[in-house]
Amino acid sequence: MPTQVAPDCDIVVFGGTGDLAVRKLLPALYLRDNDGQLADGARIIAVSRAGLDTAGYRDKAAAEMRAFVPANAWNTAAVDRFTARLHHVTIDVLEHDGWHELTALLDAADGVRVFYLACAPSLFGPVCAGLQANGLTGERSRVVLEKPIGRDLASARRINDEVGAVFAEEQIFRIDHYLGKETVQNLVVLRFANALLEPLWNSGSIDHVQITVSEDIGVGGRVGYYDTSGALRDMVQNHLLQLLCLVAMEPPSRFEADAVRDEKLKVLQALRPLAGAEVHRDTVRGQYVAGLVDGKAVPGYAQELDGAASRTETFVALRAEVQNWRWAGVPFYLRTGKRLDRRASEIVVQFRPVPHSIFPGVGDEALAPNRLVLRLQPNEGMHLHLVTKEPGPGGVRLRGVPLNLSFADTFKSRTPDAYERLLMDVVRGDPTLFMRRDEVEAAWAWAEPILAAWKDSGTPPRRYSAGTSGPTAATTLIERDGRTWHDEEAI
Ligand code: BG6
């Protein structure tokens, strides 16, 4: 990765001892530091109520983050350099206590100030008010909001209002880490740096699109958060809709923040609203029960909740439509769930069949329509399924074969984690890969009636065994339209 040193900065992480900081933020910053991207004076200031001193935090951070850094990138000199950048400040945001220490630290530097709110959304407003009261919100300050931004439209607006009362929109970076994934950025490049696809990228040539984010993990230690959220709020309202936007958007005039975000917003606004009876027809929600994942027995969701009854969905499949000229009549099937049979995220663009077969005696099956599969993770890559002639005499026999591009084989480099890219974008002040307020609210406006219809129905989610591909109703949902889910074999 080319090294371009970022501007001098202080990155202040509220929730600095939490799970996100340990698993994602510190390892990402360590790796950027290792590549020489952090300026010499850059500091990372963890804020928490843990009452640690800086030396204690440095030891704790180094011990805890190690498990999340690739083993070949971990070396003593680099760890020592990185941990010397770490500081800890104890602040009780609700008690307005401890701010002077942070102010004193920050006043000693004059670089960019990034406030990363890796804490509960209910604290976003109070943290921002505290930053303002302590004079920390000037032009060189930026605030990063982790999801979830609200749990419905009203709460998202409230949070956006509270943060917006303190920071200007261009200072607010709403993270959707899917946008920082290499393969997701590559989707934009694939579409707009190649002349080949764009003329076909519409309802004339495309039959339907599938977006799958399948996880084999359960909710584990996050059950408290997850049970108030569920798969629609946790994954669909943000990650899956953002992927849909990138597939469906019109070409932006430039790869720049507002040009891209304007186009994504138009897609969200063009989504056909699902409400009432349509929700029951076009969505499926499920919850896992005990089963086997990779041959190992795993508990059901209710057991992870200590046996408490819950109607929270851990799986969603739905059929969406983008109502505009380009996409009229092209369904977008979205699917995500926990404790499924595999970890795999992919976008499948299914093209239409050839209009007429010139090959006598060749069945429809051999003339399989072209399919473009973008594998987001793991084994990042893409496949274009084409029909070819099987070599050999004895007439024309056709066979579908994939043209494969594996990023690992082609580029021979490590795929950086999304947070590495996104954190550096914040420091550089580039919001292209972040969500604007109107996008977040448009996504909630679409998701909210689905949640309401599920609640009103009074029925529980369908059960599916852990280690399967989800409830059978998800298969029926797509088969009803004469289509099937494409579960790519391991690549
Ligand atoms: C998070 C969700 O935003 O994304 C988690 O809250 C989910 O529930 C995670 O597991 C998936 O991210 P990734 O990068 O592992 O696909």
Determine which residue's CA is closest to atom 2 belonging to ligand 1.
234
CA distance 177 to 283: 25
- Nearest atom of ligand 1 to the alpha carbon of 215: 10
The residue type of 376 is L
pTM of the model: 0.95
Distance from Cα 21 to the centre of ligand 1, integer Å: 14
Whether residue 352 contacts residue 482, with contact meaning beta carbons closer than 8 Å, is answered with no
Q: Any idea which residues carry the catalytic annotation?
A: 239
The residue type of 236 is V
In which band, very low, low, confident or very high, does the pLDDT at 307 lie, cut at 50, 70 and 90?
A: confident
Per-residue confidence (pLDDT) for residue 6, from 0 to 100: 86
- Angle, in degrees to the nearest 10, between helices 437-457 and 241-248: 120
Pocket test for ligand 1, best of 227, 235, 342, 419 (most atoms within 8 A of CB): 235
pLDDT over 50 (residue 490): no
Per this entry, what is the length of the chain? 491
Residues 331-365 have pLDDT tens digits of 999 999 999 999 999 999 999 999 999 988 887 77
What mean pLDDT is reported for the chain? 94
Q: Which ranges in the chain are annotated with CATH 3.40.50.720?
A: 9-146
Residues 369-426 have pLDDT tens digits of 999 999 998 989 999 999 999 999 888 889 989 999 998 899 888 889 999 999 999 9
For residues 89 and 108, which has the higher predicted lDDT (pLDDT)?
Answer: 89
Distance from Cα 310 to the centre of ligand 1, integer Å: 21
Per-residue confidence (pLDDT) for residue 488, from 0 to 100: 67
Per-residue confidence (pLDDT) for residue 489, from 0 to 100: 55
- Angle, in degrees to the nearest 10, between helices 257-270 and 241-248: 100
Per-residue confidence (pLDDT) for residue 2, from 0 to 100: 52
Residues 230-277 have pLDDT tens digits of 999 999 999 999 999 999 999 999 999 999 999 999 999 999 999 889
Distances in Å between the Cα of 106 and the Cα atoms of 54, 61, 195 are 15, 21, 48
CATH 3.40.50.720 fits domain 9-146: yes
Determine which residue's CA is closest to atom 14 belonging to ligand 1.
178
Residues 109-137 have pLDDT tens digits of 999 999 999 998 999 999 999 999 999 99
The residue type of 19 is D
Q: Which ranges in the chain are annotated with CATH 3.30.360.10?
A: 179-416+436-479
Share of the chain above pLDDT 70, in %: 99
- Look at phi and psi of residue 456 and say left if phi exceeds 0, alpha if psi is from -120 to 50, else beta: alpha
Residue 234 beta carbon below 6 angstroms from any ligand 1 atom: yes
Distance from Cα 234 to the centre of ligand 1, integer Å: 8
CA distance 78 to 72: 12
- Nearest atom of ligand 1 to the alpha carbon of 222: 8
The count of C-alpha atoms lying within 13 angstroms of the C-alpha of 172, restricted to the half-sphere facing its C-beta, is 24
CA distance 198 to 238: 25
CA distance 298 to 10: 42
Least trusted range by pLDDT, from 94-98, 159-163, 437-441: 94-98
- Nearest atom of ligand 1 to the alpha carbon of 219: 8
Determine which residue's CA is closest to atom 5 belonging to ligand 1.
234
Q: Which CATH architecture has domain 179-416+436-479?
A: 2-Layer Sandwich (3.30)
Determine which residue's CA is closest to atom 13 belonging to ligand 1.
178
pLDDT over 90 (residue 50): no
Determine which residue's CA is closest to atom 6 belonging to ligand 1.
234
CA distance 181 to 156: 24
pLDDT over 60 (residue 198): yes
Distance from Cα 288 to the centre of ligand 1, integer Å: 17
**Does residue 148 have a cis peptide bond before it, meaning omega lies within 30 degrees of 0?**
yes
Whether residue 404 contacts residue 381, with contact meaning beta carbons closer than 8 Å, is answered with yes
Distance from Cα 416 to the centre of ligand 1, integer Å: 16
SS (H, E, C) the chain: CCCCCCCCEEEEEECCCCHHHHHHHHHHHHHHHHCCCCCCCCEEEEEECCCCCHHHHHHHHHHHHHHHCCHHHCCHHHHHHHHCCEEEEECECCCCECHHHHHHHHHCCCCEEEEEECCCHHHHHHHHHHHHHCCCCCCCEEEEECCCCCCCHHHHHHHHHHHHCCCCHHHEEECCHHHHCHHHHHHHHHHHCCCCCHHHCCCCCEEEEEEEEECCCCCHHHHHHHCCCCHHHHHHHHHHHHHHHHHHCCCCCCCCHHHHHHHHHHHHHHECCCCCHHHHHHEEEEEEECEEECCEEECCHHHHCCCCCCCCCCEEEEEEEECCCCCCCCEEEEEEECCECCCEEEEEEEECCCCCCCCCCCCHHHHCCCEEEEEEECCCEEEEEEEEECCCCCCCCEEEEEEEEEHHHHHCCCCCCHHHHHHHHHHHCCCCCCECHHHHHHHHHHHHHHHHHHHHHCCCCEEEECCECCCHHHHHHHHCCCCCCCCCCCC
Residues 176-194 have pLDDT tens digits of 999 999 999 999 999 999 9
CA distance 281 to 274: 9
pLDDT over 60 (residue 66): yes
